Structure formats: structure tokens, C-alpha cells
Chain A
């Protein structure tokens, strides 16, 4: 049983009230949340420090303009506490970055929620997803998979936050519009929420609705993987999937795990000099230019797939519609399984390539 606070207001109003209390009492220096930019329903992440500007905050809006884990790593460590509301996958990304010494957990009050998925980034010519929003929130209450959300979200199994100080329960909450359940998971959370008005209860976050959603999503994932595995097989499969890559490296820019500022693939290490090109062409008769696009994807898969938290931004930004994240989630599952690793589960869990066990893989080495 987990300790929770029930507030008789809609989840969004309750959390904004909570923010107001935190700011008024000077318990935090700022709130990191999604907000509305203008009337066109554009949304961005923002660090709010003035309580009068909290009206713009829309903490649970089903949209991911960037991976917040990546953003948090840019501004931590903070000198004063900051409360952040982020999605479970973003939190896991942040944990992975902290492991890589790209940020610290100090002075963050980590608030997350059971996430029902987000809508795709609207590109030129796309229909806005606003029309789906009412049905989205109805589906959240029921615990179903909403129409119009991203493929990656439809197959996500880790929609309950790991390592959050406060978890807001959204999925399966029938009375989402009139009450809010805040699970206070840590002492830190209890300290921050100490004079926030609400009824203290004991309840489990995991409910039958959550479990049935998990089963549904697992089913979706199986279907997706089966569909994908028919496409990739051997070198031809690589060409099938990555052949239309334009080599923009956008997938690695938005990836929270790909944190290296001096990326090997963007270095001059793999530049083709004229003489190398001549040799290649004389051998092959033709050569795709720019070369090495498939090498880039394979290299990324090998280097960091085990830490892939499946946020799906790589697929989102791909101008060539390559299902990058699907492949990463598939390969990541396989590689993480080898080391009994779940990215973002525990900040103390070492990154697989930085440790070893003497007795493992004894069968390797012929």
C-alpha cells in the first residue's frame, strides 16, 4: 500500500494549486512544466518562477516537444529546489543521464504521472490533434489506448513512473475531473507537501485497469514487432529500413541518451578521402553518397540501445519516416535483457558496458 493524498479538484487544478503553494512558501525556486505558448495550442517546456504565470501551465498535456530528461540534464545541478512535472520516459531518460554524470538528482522534486501516451509532433500539413483531446481524456479514465497517439506510446510498457517523488494517478481514474490522487513516494515529497490540503489515504497505484492496459500494450507491441521483423533481415533488411535515411542525424540530436557533444559519427574519423572513394568505387561499381548512413544507425544501436527508454522522439523527428524508435525498442529489449537491465530503473544500477561479471559469457571465446 502506498501513501497518497486525495485532493477534491481536477488533477490539473490540484497540481497547479500545489505549485502555487510551493512558490508562495519559497519552497522551490521554480516549476518546470509544459505550458501553452499562444492561442494556436503550441506547447513548450518552461521554467516558471512567478506564481501569476502558472495559469499558462498545462502539466499533463499529452504532448512531448522535447525529451525533458535531456533538458533537465542541461540545467542541473540547481542551487535551489525546482519542482518538475515530466513523463515517466523522460524521468527514466534523466536517470540514465545522471548515471552518465550529465546531471544530478539534487534539488529536484520529481513529479510524474501514469502516462497514457502523447500525440505526434504536428508537422506542416498535419491535422491538429485537438479534436482527439476530449476522447483522449475519456480513454485515460477507462484505461484504453487512445486514438491518434504515437505508435511508440501505444506499445510503451513503462507508463508508471519509476523514481518519482510524487506520482499523480491519471490512468483509470474515473473522477479525474473532480479529484486528484497524489502518491507521496518519498520523504522529500512528504516534506514538500506538508501543508497542502488533502485527505491522506493508503492505496495501490497499480489497479486492474492499469494491468489490463499493460496487457493491451504488450499485445500491440507484439504485433508491431512482428510487422517490423518481416522487414529487417540481413543486409537487405538494413537497406529496407534505413535506405531512405538522409543522414541528418536528427534522431541522435533529440535522443536523450545520445549525450556526447563530440559524436564519433560527426567527427572526421569516417570521412572518405578521394582515394578511399576511388578504391570503393573500383570495387563496387557504384557507391551510395553520402556513405555510412547505415553504419551510423548500426553504431548507435550497438552503443546505446540497452539504455533506450523508448520515448520515440527519434521516429518523431525523422524526415524520412524511418521507424527508428521501434527498432531501438526491439534491439534495446534484447540487449538490456542480456544484462538484466532496465534503463532508468535505478540510478545506482551501473550502465552495462561499464561493469562486468567474471563468470558471465564463459561460452564466448573460441
Chain B
């Protein structure tokens, strides 16, 4: 039964996409009719630095199987340096999760520019595959969270 469940498992991924780069890339990928897994639920943010760590925790505790944060390449931020702050915060979050041995595998940070529609499709598909292998978020069966 469990086996079947995993095989049929369709991950739920929340993608926090920067309005200026990755969101445009997602648009481009769609317009180019690229094959993108329907697992991702996109939330548009004005900058990757908008992602407070609490937002990630809420998403994770809310039951998302994977979380993708994507923004402009370092140096290309629309607001000059937002993604550098985002990167530090992400590093901090990851460090805390790693130290507590809470698997940070379900979390991914990617830099995808507005021109990289193809890359967007690849990143989403690969991330979906990784999460599918990891299986459902254990929090969904845990009454403590």
C-alpha cells in the first residue's frame, strides 16, 4: 500500500519567485510551451529578499513537500542587492536546519534570470523529481506541527 502511495505521489511545491527575473522566466517558459511539471504553486514576490525565514517555516509546517526560492543572479538584482541578503538568510536558515538535523533537502535556492525560461523548466522538473524521491512531507502526518 505504502509503495503504491509513493509511486502515485504528486509533490506539492511552493515556489517563491522574484517578480523581475524568475517570474518572467516562468512566463517565458510557459509561452515557449516548455514541459513543466504541474507540481509547482507559484507565489510572486517583489524580491527574493522578501522571503522571511518564518514564511519558509510556515510553508513547510503548512505541509508543502518542497519549497523553491528563486531570484535574480547575484549582481543582477532589480533592487541592486536584495538577492545578496536573500542568500545570507537562506544560508542561515539552512545552517539551523542542518544543525537540528532537519533535512534541508526540501528547500532549494535558484538563480534564474528573465531570459532563462528553459532553465526554469529544468530547475522545476529536477526539483520535483528530487522531492518525489524524498516522498511526502512527514509533517503532514505529524499532529505535533
B95 touches A338 (CB 8 A): yes
A301 touches B101 (CB 8 A): no
Once A295-B58, A302-B96, A364-B90 are accepted as A-B contacts, the answer to whether A288 and B143 lie under 8 Å apart by CB is yes
Return B114 CB to nearest CB of chain A, in Å.
Answer: 16
A298 touches B74 (CB 8 A): no
Q: Which residues 42-61 of B sit at the A interface, judged by CB distance below 8 A?
A: 53-54, 57-58, 61
B88 touches A239 (CB 8 A): no
B61 touches A356 (CB 8 A): no
Contacts of A178 in B (CB 8 A): none
Q: How far is the CA of A366 from the CA of B66 in the complex (A)?
A: 15
- Does B125 belong to the interface (CB within 8 Å)? no
Stretch at the interface among B1-9, B23-31, B32-40, B134-142: B134-142
Partner of B102, one of A235, A291, A292: A235
B87 touches A361 (CB 8 A): yes
Stretch at the interface among A76-84, A109-117, A327-335: A327-335
B108 touches A338 (CB 8 A): no
A366 touches B110 (CB 8 A): yes
Q: Is the interface of A mostly helix, strand, loop or mixed?
A: helix
B108 touches A366 (CB 8 A): yes
Nearest residue, chain B, Cβ from A243: B144
Return A324 CB to nearest CB of chain B, in Å.
Answer: 14
Nearest residue, chain A, Cβ from B88: A356
Nearest residue, chain B, Cβ from A286: B143
Partner of A302, one of B53, B74, B141: B53
27 cross-chain CB contacts under 8 A: A233-B101, A234-B100, A235-B139, A238-B144, A239-B144, A264-B54, A284-B140, A284-B142, A295-B145, A299-B53, A301-B96, A302-B57, A302-B96, A303-B54, A306-B92, A334-B95, A335-B95, A335-B96, A352-B92, A353-B85, A362-B74, A364-B109, A365-B74, A365-B109, A366-B108, A366-B109, A366-B110
Using CB atoms and an 8 Å cutoff, list the residues of chain A in contact with chain B. Answer: 232-235, 237-239, 243, 264, 270, 283-288, 291-292, 294-295, 298-299, 301-303, 305-306, 330-331, 334-335, 338, 352-353, 356, 358, 360-362, 364-366
The 10 closest A-B pairs by CB, nearest first: A356-B84, A286-B143, A365-B111, A233-B101, A302-B53, A334-B99, A302-B96, A239-B144, A288-B144, A361-B91
